[in-house]
Amino acid sequence: MLSYRHAFHAGNHADVLKHWVQILLLTHLGHKDKPYWYIDTHAGAGAYALDSGYASKNAEFDTGIGRLWTRDDLPATLAEYVALVRQFNPDGALRAYPGSPMVAQRCLRPSDRMRLFELHSTDHGLLAGNFADAHRQVRVEHTDGFEGIKAVLPPPPRRALVLIDPPYEDKRDYARVVTSLKEALKRFATGCYAVWYPQLQRLESRDLPEKLKLLGVDWLHVSLSVQRPSDNGFGMHGSGMFVLNPPWTLPDTLNTALPYLVEVLGQDRGARYTLEWEIR
């Protein structure tokens, strides 16, 4: 199934959580001089226009990055995230939003590398075009990222962040996430893996974090619910990030801003966050 287009959802509350955590993980990797790789299994188009096309139809960014855009009381790490998005909007008006690959590129150093996988033909073409001038640092592959990462693990520097962010349109994606991580950990046990997932009223979504806790490595699970689940059982009421081999400092860093996100992005009294971890 290849009908999913992330452009419809660019900059929404789920992107805020995902890209905030992504920046924190890449910043941690950048603290050491040794190079690292960023590997994205479902890279999308790389960047999105918010004032036209798909993103403007539902304007989901209004309840995500739009709520942070003019705030002057942002916690430090959220201010860094918003500052990165501002690099794509130099005139101060919120018209563009970076996808995960563009977020990563702004964090990478010259010695670091990116490997991006995207199977959707249209998005792959857009992604390749967005990185046409970065061939030495970035390689874009037109393939299924679940399969593609097998060829790049372990990466040469033995340091990497792997982002796994499938659309979950096909419920089999949940099982594929678990299977792919089991195989990836055999190849590259010390890598940092970040999995984004939607909070939905379906068994596969609710069970995924519990299954990931059983993979035998240190983990952290953070979720942000912006509203109560709907009465009809449909729709996404929040999202989560599950990190394998997280930095030991990550829980405290997240704790400083999660209550703020609940207050600012929350849409009703069902807004809340969870944060749990096992870091030995």
Pairing of strands 47-49, 138-141: unpaired
Q: How far apart are CA 266 and CA 88, in angstroms?
A: 26
Nearest to 50 by CA among 96, 2, 101, 108: 96
Q: How far is CA 91 from CA 7, 12, 35, 74, 274, in A?
A: 22, 21, 33, 20, 36
CA 163 centroid distance within chain: 6
Selecting among 112, 123, 165, 173, the annotated active-site residue is 165
Cα Rg of the chain, angstroms = 17
How many other C-beta atoms lie within 10 A of the C-beta of residue 224? 26
The verdict on whether 165 is a catalytic residue reads yes
Tokens for 149, please give them.
Answer: 């990462």
Q: Which contacts (CB < 8 Å, 24+ apart) does range 177-182 have?
A: 177/208, 177/212, 178/208, 178/211, 178/212, 178/215, 180/41, 180/146, 180/149, 181/212, 181/215, 181/244, 182/215
How many other C-beta atoms lie within 10 A of the C-beta of residue 51? 12
CA torsion 53→166→137→245, rounded to 10°?
140
Residues classed as catalytic: 165
